[in-house]
C-alpha cells in the first residue's frame, strides 16, 4: 500500500513536471528530417548502426541534425526529488502511435494511458497520441472537456477527417497517416490502433528491434488476410472477390488465395482488380517510416483521400484496413518498393477478444501475444494487463519464406496499373511453433 501510494504521488509529480515542461516546449517541428541511408542503397540501417539521433545514448538533438535542442525543462524541486538519479535526457524517436478514438471515450483514454504507461514509453521514444477528427460536432461541454484533457496530457491530435460520420474510424485512420507524415517527422516506426485495443508496448519494441535486425526496408507489420481491390473505383470500398479470414501463413497456401488468383485472370470476375495482396487488420498496423511516407505522400493516396474523405453521401469508405493494404500494394507497383510483409498469426499473437473461459484454454494474453482487441471496459483492460504481466514475452522470431512456395502467392502480379515487383518483396511470418 505504502509503495503504491508513493508511486501515485511520484506519478502525479512527474505529470506536473511534464506539464510545466511541455508548456515551454516549442510546437512539434514540421521539417522533414533526412533519413539514414546506408551506402548499399536505399535501406535504412539496422539497429545499432543508427545515428545517435534515432537511438540512445541521446546527447544530440531528437529534433534532427542542425535543430537546436529545446530548452531544458524547469527543474522544479519536486521533479528533482522524484528522480534524484536521473538527469534530463531528451527522448529518442522510436515510434509514433496513433490511437483512433472518439470525443466521448474519456474512460478508454484514461485506462489506455495507465496500462500503456505512456510517460515511461515516452522516455523510451514512443509517443502515444489519441486521434480525433478536426471536423467534428462536439458540444461546447465536450469541447471544453477535451481541452482540459489536452492541457493535462498533451496527447490529443486533431486530424483532417470528420468525426461524426458512422465510418469516422476509416477516415481518421487515413488522416492519421497523413498527419504523421506531415507533422511527426523523424520516427523510425509509425503505428495505428483503435481505442478498443490494448497492445503491450515493450513487446512491440522487441519486435521492432527484431525487424530492424533483418536489415531490410519498407516494413508492414500486423495480422494479415488476403484481398483483391479495384483501383480508381467510384466506390471507395472496392474489394473484389472473396473475403475471409485466411492470410499468409507458414501452414501453406489457402484455398481462398487460389480462388482470388483465378478471379484475377483475364475474363475473371476481378480481372480489373489488383492483388491478391495481404493487408494488416486495423486493430494493429505498424509501418516503417520509409513505407509510411512512400504510400501516404504518393499522388495515388492523396487522390484517394481527396476523392473519398469528403464524400457527402454513401457509399462511404468503411473498409479502412484493406484500403490501406491496397494503397500500399498499388504504391509498391508504381514505385517498385521492396516491401517487407511481417505477418502475425491471428489468435496466437493478437487476441481478437478476451475471455477467461473455458478455464483450461482461456482467450487471454499469454507469452506470445502483442495486442488484444475488444477491450471495452476498465475491468477487461485490467485483466488483459495482468495477463501480459503474468507471462514473459516469448518474442517468437520472424522467418522469411518463399512467397510462392509457402504462402502460395504465385500470381496476380501483372495488373492494369503495372507490375507488382514480387522479386523485391520479402514474405515473413512471426513463427507460431516456438
State the binding string over 138-157 for ligand NAG (x if CB under 6 A, else -): --------------------
Q: Smaller CB distance to ligand NAG: residue 194 or 320?
A: 320
- Grid coordinates representing 182 are 506531415
CA pair distance 128, 70, nearest whole angstrom: 20
Q: Rule CB under 6 A: is residue 32 a binding residue for ligand NAG?
A: no
Q: How far from the centroid of its chain's Cα atoms is residue 332's Cα?
A: 19
Q: Find the binder of ligand NAG among 224, 270, 387, 426 (CB under 6 A).
A: 387
| CB of 301 closer than 8 Å to CB of 173 | no
Q: Which stretch binds ligand NAG (CB under 6 A): 29-37, 266-274, 279-287, 386-394?
A: 386-394
Cis status of the peptide bond prior to 276, with omega within 30 of 0: yes
- Minimal distance, residue 378 CB to ligand NAG, in Å: 15
Q: Distance between CA atoms of 11 and 346, rounded to whole angstroms?
A: 35
- Residue 65: count of CB within 10 angstroms of its CB: 10
Query: Is there binding between residue 386 and ligand NAG (CB under 6 A)?
Result: yes
Question: Least CB distance from residue 394 to ligand NAG, whole Å?
Answer: 14
Least separation in angstroms between residue 333's CB and ligand NAG is 13
Q: Closer to ligand NAG by CB, 126 or 354: give it.
A: 354
Close Cβ partners of 380 (under 8 Å, ≥ 6 residues apart): 354, 374
Spell out the residues 6+ positions from residue 84 whose beta carbon is closer than 8 angstroms to its own.
Answer: none
Toward ligand NAG, which CB reaches closer, 100 or 309? Answer: 309
Nearer to ligand NAG, 85 or 360 (CB): 360
Grid coordinates in use for 47?
539497429
User: Hey, is 248 helix, strand or coil?
Assistant: coil
Nearer to ligand NAG, 32 or 390 (CB): 390
- Which one of the spans 22-30, 207-215, 344-352, 385-393 is the region binding ligand NAG (CB under 6 A)? 385-393
| Closest distance to ligand NAG from the beta carbon of 334 (Å) | 11
**Which of 432, 364, 424, 369 has the alpha carbon at shortest distance from 397?**
432
Give the nearer residue to ligand NAG in terms of CB position, either 123 or 311.
311
Q: Which residues of 369-405 are buried (b: 16+ CB within 10 A; e: fewer)?
A: bbbbbbbeeeebbebbbebbeeeebebbebebbebee
Q: How far is the CB of 103 from ligand NAG (least distance, A)?
A: 29
Residue choice 88, 106, 164, 232 for contact with ligand NAG (CB under 6 A): 232
CB closer to ligand NAG out of 49 and 303: 303
Closer residue to ligand NAG (CB): 87 or 312? 312
The residues, any chain, with a CB within 8 Å of residue 96's CB and separated by 6 or more, are: 126, 127, 129, 180, 184, 187, 189, 190, 191
CB of 195 to ligand NAG, least distance (A): 23
Cell 472477390 sits on residue: 241
Give the residue with the Cβ less far from ligand NAG, 60 or 382.
Answer: 382
Using CA atoms, how far apart are residues 235 and 84, in angstroms rounded to an integer? 59
Residue 350: CB minimum distance to ligand NAG, A = 18
- Spatial distance between the Cα atoms of 100 and 122, rounded to a whole number of angstroms: 19
Nearer to ligand NAG, 342 or 384 (CB): 384
Kindly report the number of other CB atoms within 10 A of residue 71's CB atom: 10
**Residues 291-350 interacting with ligand NAG (rule: CB under 6 A):** 303, 307
Q: Cβ 233 to ligand NAG, closest distance in Å?
A: 6
Cell of 146: 477535451
Burial of 142 (0-12, 13-18, 19+ CB in 10 A): middle
* CB-CB contact of 175 with 133 (8 Å): yes
Nearer to ligand NAG, 69 or 379 (CB): 379
Alpha carbons 370 and 363: distance in angstroms, whole number: 13
- Residue from 390, 397, 414, 416 touching ligand NAG (CB under 6 A): that is 390
In the complex, least distance from residue 282 CB atom to ligand NAG, rounded to whole angstroms: 21
User: DSSP assignment, residue 405?
Assistant: I
Q: Which span sits near ligand NAG by CB under 6 A: 42-50, 203-211, 370-378, 383-391?
A: 383-391
Counting contacts by CB under 6 A, is residue 354 touching ligand NAG? Answer: no
Q: How many binding residues for ligand NAG (CB under 6 A)?
A: 6
Smallest distance from ligand NAG to CB 218, Å: 22
Nearest of 266, 412, 420, 426 to residue 343 by alpha carbon: 426
In the numeric block, which cell numbers belong to residue 414?
A: 501483372
Contact positions vs ligand NAG (CB under 6 A): 232, 303, 307, 386-387, 390
Amino acid at each position: 500500500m505504502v509503495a503504491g501510494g508513493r508511486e501515485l504521488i511520484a506519478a502525479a509529480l512527474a505529470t506536473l513536471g511534464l506539464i510545466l515542461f511541455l508548456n515551454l516546449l516549442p510546437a512539434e517541428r514540421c521539417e522533414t528530417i533526412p533519413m539514414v541511408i546506408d551506402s548499399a542503397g536505399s535501406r535504412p540501417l539496422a539497429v545499432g548502426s543508427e545515428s545517435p539521433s534515432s537511438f540512445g545514448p541521446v546527447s544530440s538533438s531528437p529534433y534532427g541534425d542542425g535543430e537546436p535542442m529545446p530548452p531544458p525543462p524547469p527543474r522544479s524541486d519536486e521533479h528533482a526529488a522524484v528522480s534524484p538519479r536521473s538527469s534530463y535526457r531528451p527522448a529518442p524517436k522510436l515510434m509514433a502511435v496513433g490511437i483512433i478514438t472518439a470525443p466521448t471515450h474519456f474512460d478508454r483514454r484514461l485506462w489506455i494511458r495507465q496500462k500503456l504507461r505512456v510517460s515511461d514509453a515516452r522516455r523510451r521514444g514512443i509517443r502515444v497520441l489519441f486521434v480525433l477528427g478536426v471536423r467534428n460536432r462536439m458540444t461546447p461541454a465536450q469541447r471544453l472537456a477535451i481541452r482540459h484533457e489536452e492541457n493535462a496530457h498533451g496527447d490529443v491530435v486533431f486530424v483532417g477527417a470528420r468525426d461524426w460520420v458512422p465510418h469516422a474510424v476509416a477516415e481518421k485512420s487515413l488522416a492519421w497517416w497523413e498527419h504523421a507524415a506531415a507533422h511527426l517527422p523523424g520516427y523510425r516506426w509509425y503505428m495505428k490502433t483503435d481505442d478498443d485495443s490494448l497492445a503491450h508496448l515493450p513487446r512491440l519494441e522487441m519486435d521492432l528491434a527484431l525487424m530492424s535486425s533483418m536489415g531490410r526496408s519498407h516494413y508492414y507489420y500486423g495480422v494479415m488476410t488476403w484481398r483483391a481491390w479495384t483501383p480508381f473505383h467510384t466506390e471507395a470500398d472496392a474489394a473484389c472477390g472473396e473475403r475471409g479470414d485466411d492470410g499468409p501463413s507458414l501452414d501453406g497456401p489457402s484455398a481462398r488465395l487460389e480462388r482470388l488468383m483465378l478471379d484475377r485472370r483475364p475474363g475473371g470476375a476481378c480481372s480489373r482488380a489488383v492483388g491478391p495482396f495481404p493487408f494488416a487488420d486495423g486493430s494493429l498496423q505498424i509501418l516503417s517510416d520509409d513505407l509510411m511516407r512512400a504510400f501516404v505522400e504518393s499522388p495515388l493516396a492523396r487522390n484517394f483521400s481527396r476523392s473519398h474523405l469528403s464524400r457527402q453521401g454513401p457509399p462511404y469508405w468503411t473498409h479502412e484496413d484493406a484500403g490501406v493494404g491496397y494503397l500500399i500494394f498499388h504504391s509498391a507497383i508504381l514505385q517498385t518498393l521492396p516491401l517487407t510483409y511481417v505477418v502475425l498469426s491471428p489468435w496466437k499473437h493478437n487476441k481478437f477478444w478476451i475471455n477467461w473461459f473455458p478455464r483450461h484454454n482461456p482467450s487471454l494474453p499469454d507469452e506470445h501475444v502483442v495486442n488484444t482487441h475488444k477491450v471495452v471496459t476498465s475491468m477487461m483492460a485490467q485483466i488483459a494487463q495482468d495477463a501480459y504481466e503474468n507471462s514473459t514475452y516469448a518474442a517468437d522470431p520472424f522467418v522469411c519464406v518463399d512467397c510462392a512456395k509457402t504462402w502460395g502467392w504465385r500470381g496476380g502480379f501483372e495488373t492494369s496499373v503495372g507490375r507488382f515487383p514480387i522479386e523485391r518483396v520479402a514474405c515473413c511470418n512471426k513463427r507460431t511453433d516456438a
